[in-house]
Structure 1
Amino acid sequence: MNYFIFGGSGFIGTHLVNYLKNIQPDSKIYNLDIKENNHNGQSVFISCDVRSEIDINVSVSVDDIIFNFSAVHTTPGHPDHEYFETNIRGAENVAAFAEKFKVKKILFTSSIAPYGASEEMKDENTLPMPNTPYGISKLVAEKIHMIWQSKNVSERQLTILRPGVVFGKGENGNFTRLYWGIKRHRFFYPGRKDTIKGSIYVKELVRFMLYRIENADAGVEIYNCSYEPAFTIEEISNTMMKATGMHRTIYKIPGGLLKFAAGIIGALGGKSFGIHPDRVKKLMVSTNISGKKLKNSGYQFHYTFEEALKDWYKDNNNLFLK
């Protein structure tokens, strides 16, 4: 059995390769990506752009497993069309690749973006109402994978994961910006402290992926991936400071004032501050997803939230989070 990881050069892909090699050292792992990365010899890199037909000179069997992580996902950060080109065409081409070789198992990392932005808690049965190009493209990609599974419902297994904020070494995203914002006294609560932010540690996420691959039956399953219950931005900030030995006072200021300041800083070329009006706006809206289905799946978490942050800190020699 081989593993084919589309988009494996990235943050989650790198952690998955590390975990696979740790538990299955003799496994063959192929990383298909446009960015070269053989994970220090742990994987075989194959240059692959999922926006085009996938044609590789490698033996593929029905028992191999496909992970599809390929995506344009940073928001804000890309023109609208790029989300659709990569996320939708990529899903079509990966599904066609699986169809060609009769592969029976695909795990697809979607997002909570298909739910749309609102304060209400969302579980896996919530009606998706995406309101961004990224969210729309991810929902369409989910449906494309479902069509692939429907062509052989009795044998094909499709696992769709909708993670909250995924944090850990190499993230360089929301939690990393939060850490450095707090450390440099540049983070303020934008009008509220009770914004809920569903999140999961990357090492926990990849463990759960393998758990579902090994235990799921044929069919389609969808899981939100988050600690349950999800934490507020104040709880996240306080736990992050505790885990990394920081002592800071974080003040709450009006959200409108913070967005205005972010706009001014951005216009003056202050990108290095990590402040963007759209990011401030995102901080003011909850990503309130239910992780109850994951919690009740039989999977045993290996890290509490605080333990996860301490492990990430340890991965950086107890110096910082990045």
Structure 2
Amino acid sequence: MNYIITGGTGFIGTHLTNLLCELHPDAKVWNLDIVDPAKLDVMTNEKERQEYTTIKDWKSPLVEGETRKSTFVYCDVRKPIENLPFTPTSEDILFNFAAVHRTPGHPDHAYFETNIRGAENVCAFCEKYGIKKMVFTSSIAPYGAAEELKKETTLPTPNTAYGISKLVAEKIHMMWQADDQKDRQLTIVRPGVVFGRGENGNFTRLYWAIKGHKFAFPGRKDTIKACIYVKELVRFMLYRLENHGVGVELYNCCYEPAYTIEHIVDVIKSKTGLTQFVPNIPNAVIMPVAAVIGALGAPMGICPARVKKLQISTNICGKKMKNSGYDFKWSFEGAVEDWFIDNKKKYLK
């Protein structure tokens, strides 16, 4: 049996591989990706690395001294998946993580090309080899940007190319399952902000901004930011694989209730020893400042689009996950502390 991960070089894929190999030491994990981790992990030139990964200031999800545990296979999901160095079987399990996901940051067609065509090609691959179990990592972006609480039953109203592409990709995966409803198992997860070692995203930027006295609450402290620890997310995926029969399951993946940005900042400070004061700057002041900083190259990722994104709540309901029978290993506070320990209690990255 093979574990096949499309987009396995990335943040979530690497943590999933680590967990699979921890729980199943003899597991064969195949990483189908366009980014070769053997090249990425040894690159020291930041410009060269950013061109290779498209991620600015990339940091590895590996703990110091740790090595990659999957076998890399170059694979572009925008094209039919073929000529693999192994023979897939109907007993294999596929995790589809391949996506263009950072937003803003890519032209609209890039989201559609990778996320929609990629979904079609991945599902065609599973169809070809009779693979019956698949996990698809979607996003909360299909809900659209709004303050209202979003449950799995909420009507999706995506308002970005990324959100639209992810919603269409979900439907493509559902059509794959519907073609053989009696035998196929599909789990779709919509994670909130996923944080942890190697995220290269919002929480890392938040930590360094606080540390460098460069963060202020952007006009409000009560913005809700649904989130989930990466190690918790991959544990939950495996739990659903083992406790889910045939059919389709859809889960929001986030702590319940979701936390405010003020609580997130307080926990990050308390667990990492930061004492910096974080002011609350009125919107009328912070947006012009963000525009100026953005014009200077957006250090720390500060620009009007990101500030606006920070001001909108991601008010996602995690009750279904909480009541699924899954036993959380970490509280939010424990997760931040565990992440800090992964970095030898020096910083968060």
TM range (shorter): over 0.9
Mapped to 1, the partners of 2:243 and 2:14 lie a distance apart of: 23
Match of 2:164 among 136, 154, 157: 136
1:50 is matched with 77
1:220 is matched with 248
Mapped to 1, the partners of 2:18 and 2:172 lie a distance apart of: 29
Structure 1 residues 256 and 53, CA, compared in 2 at 3 Å: closer, same or farther?
A: farther
2:189 is matched with 161
Instruction: Output one character per residue of 1:298-321: Cα deviation in whole Å (capped at 9) or x when no partner.
Output: 000000111100100010110000
Mapped to 2, the partners of 1:67 and 1:301 lie a distance apart of: 21
1:99 is matched with 127
1:292 is matched with 319
Paired residues of 1:31 and 1:37 also in contact (CA < 8 A): no
Mapped to 1, the partners of 2:187 and 2:232 lie a distance apart of: 16
Instruction: Output one character per residue of 1:95-144: Cα deviation in whole Å (capped at 9) or x when no partner.
Output: 00000001000100000000000000001000000000000000000000
Paired residues of 2:293 and 2:299 also in contact (CA < 8 A): no
1:13 is matched with 13
TM-score using structure 1 length: 0.98
Shift of 1:259: 1.8
Q: Secondary structure at the match of 1:125?
A: coil
Mapped to 2, the partners of 1:41 and 1:189 lie a distance apart of: 38
Paired residues of 1:165 and 1:174 also in contact (CA < 8 A): yes
Letter in 2 for 1:216: H
1:83 is matched with 111
Report % sequence identity. Answer: 63
Letter in 1 for 2:173: H
Structure 2: where are the runs of 5+ without partners?
39-61
Paired residues of 2:75 and 2:81 also in contact (CA < 8 A): yes
Q: Secondary structure at the match of 2:5?
A: strand
Mapped to 1, the partners of 2:337 and 2:221 lie a distance apart of: 23
Letter in 1 for 2:95: F
More off after superposition, 81-90 vs 37-46: 37-46
Shift of 1:273: 3.1
Shift of 1:41: 5.0
Q: Secondary structure at the match of 2:148?
A: strand
Paired residues of 2:219 and 2:280 also in contact (CA < 8 A): yes
2:293 is matched with 265
Match of 1:205 among 218, 224, 233: 233
Shift of 1:172: 1.1
Letter in 2 for 1:186: K
Structure 1: where are the runs of 5+ without partners?
none
